[in-house]
Structures are given as structure tokens and as C-alpha cells.
Structure 1
């Protein structure tokens, strides 16, 4: 199979980037984050893309970033929290080694905080996060080969479980 060895999906603040970097190090491969790709291509932060250009424009950039990364990258790939909203993205992920990193709202509040610059959490972050997860959890589950909780666990513990569930060998 070509493409990423592992693809991480899940909500904002779950640790996709942190876990992805550690997992890539353990596997001896590179790590790529589509949110970072979008920021690089647009030349501005995601929050500014949302405010200046709107969510539909951001989602179009996101779909293109995912498509490109899936075609080019062979290491660990972390997708933005909303990438699975696009049916095209879910189709592209079909059969791929996708891991859904999961957590509950209490953990999200600890990690993301209530004042973080997250455009989709500007008003009533706890309620917004719950609503996002109600809509997204079935989509994360749909594309995932495995679900790994990050709650009350270190990144090392999460990486260990990913290696086990996907039966990957460390370098």
C-alpha cells in the first residue's frame, strides 16, 4: 500500500500532532499535519482563514491538503479535526490505516482551554465542543480502523496502543 503508514483523526486538542510526531519518531518515518499545510499554503493562521474567507473556503483548502498529503506522504499523517466532514475525504480514507484519537469534553476543556483561538469554539466552548463531537464522532468512527482513547494517558501510552492495534513494528 502506498500512502501514510498511519493517519490520525479526532477532535481539536486530542493530541494528533503530539502523538503523530512521537509515533513517526518510533516508526522512523516523517510526520505531516494537514492543518500546518493549510497555514503554509494560505500564509495565515486557520482562525484568520475562517474570519477572512469563511468556513467553506477553509474546508475547500482542507480537502485539497488532505488529498495532496494522502498522495505524497508515506509517514504519519495528522488530519484537522473537521477533515472527515467532507464525503470526499471519507472516501479517500476508506481502507487506510486510520486511528481515531478520542476524548470526552472534560479532557477537551483541559487541553484546548476555554480561551484558545479556535474559531469553532468562540461561543460557549463546552457546548460547542459537545455539538461538534455529536456530529463528528460517527464520521471519525466510520473512517477508523481503530479507536484509541487519549484520556488520562501520556502520549507514549497512546503511541504504544496505536503500535499494538495496527501491529506496527518500531524502528
Structure 2
């Protein structure tokens, strides 16, 4: 069993929204590893970060991704930082991975740079820009396709991802 499509990208790229629409389009289930982490921890991602620290969150995330890659056959959305783990990047080899690329102008209104984004505390725009600069090469490394999400609605992004993966138009 393997996911039909795996979505990666930074906060605000639309992984969850596009993932749900893509799963509907493909007639399969959707799964979000952030939701898996929350279920395992019994609290929100933000609470795990604050109460246990980023290292603990990354452990839970790594386990969630590894399990989903072998236990889910629909559309899978990974948390924005999941690609930081070398084991996760290795596990993604051979999977159909779509990098949902977005610029800060389109990401900002989608995520609101609020408290639910613990890595964006302080100067959220500067933090997001730093995150993206550090992670872009990793997203590109694991991706089999890249789809721009800026300036188009989520349904159109889902259509483009499906087409790029050879799943219709």
C-alpha cells in the first residue's frame, strides 16, 4: 500500500485544502500527518511545540509520516517541516510527491501568521521567508512534480496536481 499522491510545501501552500479536493477528485481518502500527530499526542501541534518542544514534535511527525507512507493509499499531506528529516526524505523516494509552491504574498492571507504557527512567532513574514529559503531545496529534492499555488483557487491547484501526476485533467 502506498499513497496515490503526497503533498509537501510550506505553511500556506494549501496542502490540506488541496489534499481534500484532490482526494475527492481521485475518489480516495485524504490523510494529514499533522492530524495524525495531534491524535497521537492528544493535543494540537502548537501545544506539542510549546509544552514538549520542537524535537518531540519532530519525533511524532517522523513516526506519523513513516506510518502513513506504508498504511495509506489515498492522498497524503505532510506538515511543512516533515522534509527536514533525512529519513523522511529517503522514505519519500519512489512516491509521487507534489511540491505545492507558494510565495509569501499568497501564503500570508492563507495562514494569517497566528499563534497556531509556532515556528512563525516573532516576525512572521521574516520567519516564513527564512523557513522557505531553508526548505525549498528539500521540497524540490523529494518532489516528482511542482505546482504553483499562487493566484489560483484550491480546486484549480488540485486539478493541476492531478494532471501533473497523470491522473486526468
TM range (shorter): over 0.9
Query: Is 1:51 aligned to residue 42 of structure 2?
Result: no
| Residue 97 of structure 1: aligned partner | 96
Query: Is 1:121 aligned to residue 120 of structure 2?
Result: yes
Query: Is 1:87 aligned to residue 109 of structure 2?
Result: no
Q: Which runs of 5+ in 2 are unaligned?
A: none
Note the aligned Cα RMSD (angstroms): 1.1
- Where does 1:11-22 land on structure 2 (aligned, <5 Å)? 11-22=10-21
TM-score, normalised via structure 2 length? 0.97
- Count, aligned residues: 169
Rounded Cα–Cα distance in structure 1 between residues aligned with 2:115 and 2:50: 15
Greater Cα offset, 155-164 or 34-43: 155-164
Q: Secondary structure at the match of 1:8?
A: strand
Rounded Cα–Cα distance in structure 1 between residues aligned with 2:71 and 2:42: 21
Q: Secondary structure at the match of 1:164?
A: helix
Q: Which runs of 5+ in 1 are unaligned?
A: none
| Counterpart contact for 2:12–2:102, Cα < 8 Å | no
- Where does 1:1-171 land on structure 2 (aligned, <5 Å)? 2-169=1-168
Deviation at 1:169, TM superposition (A): 4.1
Deviation at 1:115, TM superposition (A): 2.9
Deviation at 1:114, TM superposition (A): 3.1
Q: Secondary structure at the match of 2:147?
A: strand
Q: Secondary structure at the match of 1:11?
A: coil
Give CA-to-partner distance per residue, 1:71-95, whole Å, 9 cap, x none: 1000000000000000000000012
| Counterpart contact for 2:32–2:78, Cα < 8 Å | yes
Rounded Cα–Cα distance in structure 2 between residues aligned with 1:115 and 1:59: 20
Rounded Cα–Cα distance in structure 1 between residues aligned with 2:34 and 2:159: 24
